[in-house]
Amino acid sequence: MTQQQRRRNTALEKLSDTGLSLADSSQDIRNRKVIDRLGEEIGHVSGLFIDQDERKVRMLEIRAGGFLGIGDRHVLLPVDAITSVTKDEVHVNQTGERVAHSPTYDPTLFAEAPAQDFWPYYGYYKLSPYWGAGYMYPEFTPSRERPITD
What three-state secondary structure class fits 90?
strand
The average pLDDT across 43-67 equals 86
The CATH number for 3-122, chosen from 3.30.470.20, 3.40.50.720, 3.40.50.200, 3.90.50.10, is: 3.90.50.10
In contact, 12 and 135? CB cutoff 8 Å: no
Cα 1 → chain centroid: 26
- pLDDT tens column, 132-144: 888 888 876 544 4
Instruction: Let me know how long the chain is.
Output: 150
- pLDDT tens column, 14-32: 899 888 888 878 779 999 9
The amino acid occupying position 94 is: Q
pLDDT at 96 over 60: yes
In contact, 108 and 115? CB cutoff 8 Å: no
- pLDDT tens column, 107-131: 776 665 666 777 788 889 999 888 8
Would the pTM count as exceeding 0.95?
no
DSSP state of 120: H
> Where in the chain are the domains?
3-122
